Structures are given as structure tokens and as C-alpha cells.
A = this chain, B = another copy of it.
Amino acid sequence: MQDALIRKLESFEELIDADREALRALVSRVRKVPARSDLIREGDVPSDVHLILSGYACRYKILPDGQRQIMAYFVPGDFCDLNVFILDQMDHNIGTISPCHAVEIPRQAIEEIMANHPRVTRALMWCALVDEAVLREWLVNLGSRPSDQRIAHLFCELYLRLEAVGHVNDNSYLFPFTQNEVADTMGLSDEHVNRTLRELRRLELITLKHRVLTIMDVEQLKAYCGFNPNYLHLRNARWSGRRQVPWLNSVQGE
């Protein structure tokens, strides 16, 4: 269970046994957290870092009108707030989606590991930067893609992220999000998410039942939404898709 993190870090950086030991030592106070509860809330003063060992969580905000926006998904091996704890107070919430095993790692433990394990430090910084790159890609998703590609893109991303920690089997992974949660992630209405999922099923791109998502043909789904994995900065996967000449004034046409 606790190897998700190590596995992820190793997809960024070679580690030695001592590194792995140190990482395993971080995982002491494991907390079992029920589904749909907050790990930390807006306004709280952060002290510890949260690491997800099992289950899914998310980062979200609630607007004054009650509207929720989910800004990140966390899967096993993910830190929820590796650096945020430097700030004065949380400007958002972190809550579980499914029941989770989570660890609260004191800031000091992180600093210690950073002082003594340069490879781990590099890998952790890499993680933080990838998280930010993911956030940027989500912005692109909301700003530039129609609803079907938007959702397909999310599925592709989760596929690669979960694969990196060994949580994909037979092109399938656990997808415990309700349609309402997907809607609040993608800036869509519940009903529209429902219809869009139906459409993706009809096109035989995916299957989704009993909280298990199966991607019938990964390459096809990637092509469907123009998925470019470069933002995940995995050591393996590089892109093979079309490339566009950059510069201003959105060149029309395909």
C-alpha cells in the first residue's frame, strides 16, 4: 500500500535503498479517513503535509453562492499539500472522495529528508512541479475543450497517473467519483456529465460501472481528446501527436 509513493518517485528519479527506507519511515501515523470528509479546511493554519496511501481525495473551494469547484484529484502516492504548508492559512479545502488511508507528515520530517536525501528531494520537487503542470492542464481543459473531450482528457490523465503507481489493471481503474463530483470538477452540470458519459460509452471509448472505469482503447481515447502526456513529465511516455507552430492569433483550421 505505502509503496505507491516510492513507485511514483522512482518514475522520476533513481533511488537507493536508503532513500526508500527514509520514505517508508515517513509513514508512521496512518489515519483512516471515511469518505466525504475534510482533511483540512479553508482558513486552517497548515502544519502537516498530507500523503494519500489509499483511496481518492480532492482539493476544492466553495464559492459564496454555494458552488463547488474541485481543483485537483489525489490518488495513492500523492501529496495533497507538499508546499502549501508554508502559507499563513489554507485558501481551499482538501477532502476525501472515497475512504482513505492518509498520513500526516510533520513539516520537520520533510525538511529532514530534504536535508539528507538529495535524490528524494529532487523527486519531491519534481512531484510538486508536475502537480502544478497538471493544474495548468486542467485550466486548458476548462478553457479550451468541449465537454466530451474534457471528460475524456480527465480519464486519460488518471489512467497515466494511476498506471505510474500500479493501480491500473486490464485498462481499468477505480473511479469512485459521483457524476456530481465530476460535474463540479469540469465546470459542467450533473445532467450534462451524465449525457456526455453516455455518449463516450456509445462511442465504445469507455465503460463505467460499479465505480470501475475501463478504457476500451487508450490510444483511441487519447486521440479523441488530443491528449498530450508531456505535462505529466513521466520518464517513459513522450508524445507522438501533431505539433503546431507556436505563435499568436489562433491559427484556424485543423
A contacts, CB < 8 Å to B: 36, 38, 41-42, 59, 61-69, 71, 83-84, 86-89, 91-93, 95, 122, 125-126, 128-129, 132-133, 135-136, 138-140, 142-145, 180, 184-187, 226, 228, 230-231, 233, 241-244, 246-254
Q: Which chain B positions have C-beta within 8 A of A67?
A: 144, 250
Taking a contact as CB atoms closer than 8 A, the residue among B66, B89, B125 that contacts A252 in the complex is B66
Q: Is the CB of B86 within 8 A of A129?
A: yes
Specify which chain B residues have a CB less than 8 angstroms from the CB of A142 in the assembled complex: 139, 142-143, 187
B140:A139 contact, CB within 8 angstroms: no
* B241 A64 Cβ-Cβ under 8 A: yes
Q: In the bound complex, what is the Cα–Cα distance between A71 and B241 (angstroms)?
A: 22
A246:B83 contact, CB within 8 angstroms:
no
Besides A36-B248, A91-B231, A142-B142, 15 other A-B contacts (C-beta < 8 A): A42-B246, A62-B244, A62-B246, A63-B244, A67-B144, A69-B140, A71-B140, A87-B233, A89-B230, A95-B248, A135-B135, A135-B136, A139-B139, A139-B142, A143-B185
Q: A180: which B residues are within 8 A, CB to CB?
A: 249
Which among A83, A180, A187, A246 has the highest number of chain B CB atoms within 10 Å? A246
What residues of B have a CB within 8 angstroms of the CB of A84 in the complex?
Answer: 129
B38 touches A254 (CB 8 A): no
Write the chain B residue with the least CB distance to A138: B139
Contacts of A241 in B (CB 8 A): 64
**Cβ-defined partner of A64 (8 Å) among B92, B126, B136, B242:** B242
Contact, CB under 8 Å: B250 / A66: yes
A/B interface sample: 20 pairs, CB < 8 A: A36-B247, A36-B248, A62-B244, A63-B145, A64-B242, A67-B144, A69-B139, A69-B144, A87-B129, A87-B133, A87-B233, A91-B133, A91-B230, A135-B135, A138-B139, A139-B139, A139-B142, A142-B142, A142-B143, A180-B249
